[in-house]
């Protein structure tokens, strides 16, 4: 190699080294600034979660248990699981997408199967909902609940919540541990509905299986399937399709802000029992309920509220002892019409409320009056 070529080679190597060094420094600088960007982004996100993203609604999730918080060791076990076993933080964490649609915070009110929801819990829940909805920082409430008695809690809240802000009750038919669990999407929908402006003033709503129903009309119609909840005669009030929440109807009977029922100072609800009507039923059922202290009896009677001669005797005796008697229907659908015989016996008919919801309204009616004529009016208005 001659001197010129040697110098040329040395210069080229130096140039390459310098270029590589510069490029390397550039990469390091980029990595550094990327890191800073990422950590700033994380800081921003954390801040948004802490302080709440101002552009999103603040939704409180009140958890009561049920299958939506249920789990099993087997992902194919959709019946033998333990309901109410996961805490609300785990349930919310299982749907990270919630962060994109609302500032969601959870509160565990209780963690039970809904067959164990009692009057004391209904009062506690209603009082907490009313307290939270008075807060300007709360835009809506979602309540997670077992499906077995979900319609009773939802209808109770529909009658005693004193706010137009959205309240959505949600459950699931499959536990969180199951293949194709329906809880996460149902919860996502519930938060989405509660954050929607149009949901205001519609009373308490229930969502499962992509539908939005009024608490007044929804009922559980199947023991295990994911389409168990139906709003049979009166229809749904809306639907969630993809990211879109659409409303088509609203309940016109009185509810929430228009309701005259107020539980803020009530410590205990009156005992109301449901008696089933069937062939060969006996008067002693009524006698036993009255003796045990029932203040009201709802009869899950046959057809259009038809009662046997024996049952009517028991019911008429109960009425003489100041018990309010409401005829509902075990058919699960339709209106129990008010007849002349109701006036003769001082019975009340339940309109289109099924026995379990007729019981909820009767408990609240009894906080106001024992007069069957006035109670009948409530069934016509709510
Ligand atoms: N019996 C339980 C309950 O109502 C499980 C049913 C359910 O949530 O789907 O909480």
78 is catalytic: no
The pLDDT, as a whole number, for residue 52 is: 78
Task: Evaluate if residue 31 carries a pLDDT over 70.
Answer: no
pLDDT surpasses 80 at 222: yes
May I ask the CATH class of domain 272-381? alpha beta
- Report whether pLDDT(24) > 90: no
CATH class of 57-258: alpha beta
Per-residue confidence at 37, pLDDT binned at 50, 70, 90? Answer: low
Instruction: Please tell me if the domain spanning 57-258 has the same topology as the one spanning 272-381.
Output: yes
Atom of ligand 1 nearest to the CA of 149: 4
Atom of ligand 1 nearest to the CA of 68: 8
Tokens of residue 89, six digits: 């933080």
Separation of CA 148 and ligand 1 centre (Å): 5
At 316 the three-state DSSP class reads helix
Q: What pLDDT does residue 19 have?
A: 41
Q: Where are the beta strands (DSSP E) in the chain?
A: 57-65, 102-112, 140-144, 167-170, 204-208, 211-214, 219-220, 229-230, 238-241, 244-247, 272-276, 296-301, 324-329, 348-349
The token duo for 197 is 């402006």
- The pLDDT of 186-195, averaged and rounded, is 98
Give one DSSP letter per residue of 14-29, joined into a string. HHHHHHHHHHHHHHHH
Query: Torsion angle of alpha carbons 153, 124, 159, 370, nearest 10°?
Result: 100
Mean pLDDT of the chain: 90
Tell me the average pLDDT across 186-190.
98
Q: Is 114 in the pocket of ligand 1 (CB under 6 A)?
A: yes
Q: Is the CB of 67 under 6 A from ligand 1?
A: yes
DSSP string, 143-198: EE--STTHHHHHHHHHHH---SS-EEEE--SS-TTSTT-SHHHHHHHHHHHHT-GG
| pLDDT tens-digit series, residues 142-152 | 999 999 999 99
Is the pLDDT reported for residue 183 higher than 90? yes
Render pLDDT for 103-134 as a digit per residue (tens, 0 to 9).
999 999 999 999 999 999 999 999 999 999 99
Is 257 one of the annotated binding-site residues? no
- Nearest residue CA, atom 1 of ligand 1? 113
Chain-centroid distance of CA 128 in Å reads: 14
Tell whether residue 349 is among the known ligand binding residues: no
DSSP state of 80: S
**Distance between Cα 209 and ligand 1 center (Å):** 16
CA 248 to centroid of ligand 1, rounded, Å: 29
Q: Please tell me the predicted confidence (pLDDT) of residue 45.
A: 43
For residue 127, give the 3-state DSSP assignment.
helix
Tokens of 272: 């109301």
pLDDT of residue 83: 86
171 lines ligand 1 (CB under 6 A): yes
> 3-state class of 72 per DSSP?
coil
**Region of residue 6 (phi > 0: left; psi between -120 and 50: alpha; otherwise: beta):** alpha
Nearest-CA neighbor of 364 among 287, 266, 278, 293? 266
- Residue 40's pLDDT is 54
Distances (CA, A) of 220 to 108, 175, 213, 217: 24, 17, 12, 10
Task: Count CA within 13 A, CB hemisphere, residue 128.
Answer: 18
Q: For residue 112, what are the β-bridge partners?
A: 65
Q: Looking at the predicted structure, is the pLDDT value of residue 6 above 90?
A: no
The share of the chain scoring above pLDDT 70, in percent, equals: 87
User: Is the CB of 147 within 6 Å of ligand 1?
Assistant: yes
148 assigned to a ligand binding site? yes
Is residue 73 scored above 50 in pLDDT? yes
Domain ranges (residues) in the chain? 57-258, 272-381
Q: Is the CB of 113 under 6 A from ligand 1?
A: yes
Structure-derived torsion over alpha carbons of residues 293, 297, 299, 304, reported in degrees to the nearest 10: 160
Determine the average pLDDT of the residues in 339-349.
Answer: 97
Higher-pLDDT residue of 28 and 69 is 69
The pLDDT of residue 353 is 98
Selecting among 64, 67, 149, 196, the annotated active-site residue is 67
Looking from the CA of residue 173, the nearest atom of ligand 1 is 9
Residue 20 has pLDDT above 50, yes or no: no
Give pLDDT, residue 16: 42
Which of the following is catalytic: 64, 144, 147, 219?
Answer: 147
How many degrees, rounded to 5, is the angle at CA 102 between CA 101 and CA 106? 130
In this prediction, residues 304-315 reach a mean pLDDT of: 98
Q: Are 158 and 215 in contact (CB under 8 A)?
A: yes
* Catalytic site includes residue 147: yes
- Both tokens of 261, joined, read 């029922």
Per-residue confidence band for 48, with pLDDT thresholds at 50, 70 and 90: very low
How far is the C-alpha of 101 from the C-alpha of 96, rounded, in Å?
10
């Amino acid at each position: 190699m001659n001197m010129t070529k040697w110098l040329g080679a040395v210069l080229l190597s130096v140039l390459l080294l310098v270029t590589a060094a510069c490029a390397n420094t550039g990469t390091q600088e980029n990595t550094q600034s990327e890191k800073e960007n990422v950590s700033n982004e994380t800081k921003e996100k954390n801040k948004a979660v802490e302080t709440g993203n101002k552009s999103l609604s603040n939704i409180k999730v009140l958890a009561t248990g049920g299958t939506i918080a249920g789990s099993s060791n087997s992902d194919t076990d959709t019946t033998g699981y333990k309901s109410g076993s996961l805490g609300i933080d785990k349930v919310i964490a299982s749907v990270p997408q919630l962060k994109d649609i609302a500032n969601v915070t959870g509160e565990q009110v209780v963690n039970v199967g809904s067959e164990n929801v009692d009057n004391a819990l209904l009062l506690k829940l209603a009082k907490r909902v009313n307290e939270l909805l008075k807060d300007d920082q709360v835009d809506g409430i979602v309540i997670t609940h077992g499906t077995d008695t979900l319609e009773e809690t939802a209808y109770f809240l529909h009658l005693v919540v004193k706010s137009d802000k959205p309240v959505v009750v949600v459950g699931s038919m499959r536990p969180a541990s199951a293949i194709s669990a329906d809880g996460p999407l149902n919860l996502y929908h519930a938060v989405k509905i509660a954050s929607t402006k149009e949901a205001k003033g519609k009373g308490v709503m229930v969502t499962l299986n992509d539908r939005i129903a009024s608490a007044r009309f929804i009922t559980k119609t199947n023991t295990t399937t994911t389409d168990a909840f139906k709003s049979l005669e009166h229809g749904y009030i809306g639907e969630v399709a993809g990211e879109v929440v659409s409303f088509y109807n609203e309940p016109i009977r009185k509810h929430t802000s228009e309701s005259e029922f107020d539980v803020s100072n009530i410590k205990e609800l009156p005992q109301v029992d449901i008696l089933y009507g069937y062939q060969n039923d006996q008067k002693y059922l009524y006698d036993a309920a009255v003796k045990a202290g029932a203040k009201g009896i709802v009869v899950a009677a046959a057809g259009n509220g038809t009662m046997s001669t024996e049952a009517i005797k028991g019911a008429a005796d109960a009425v003489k002892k100041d018990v309010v008697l409401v005829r509902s229907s075990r058919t699960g659908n339709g209106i129990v019409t008010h007849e002349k015989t109701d006036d003769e016996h001082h019975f009340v008919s339940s309109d289109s409320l099924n026995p379990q919801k007729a019981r909820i309204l009767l408990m609240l009616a009894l906080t106001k009056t024992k007069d069957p004529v006035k109670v009948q009016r409530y069934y016509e208005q709510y």
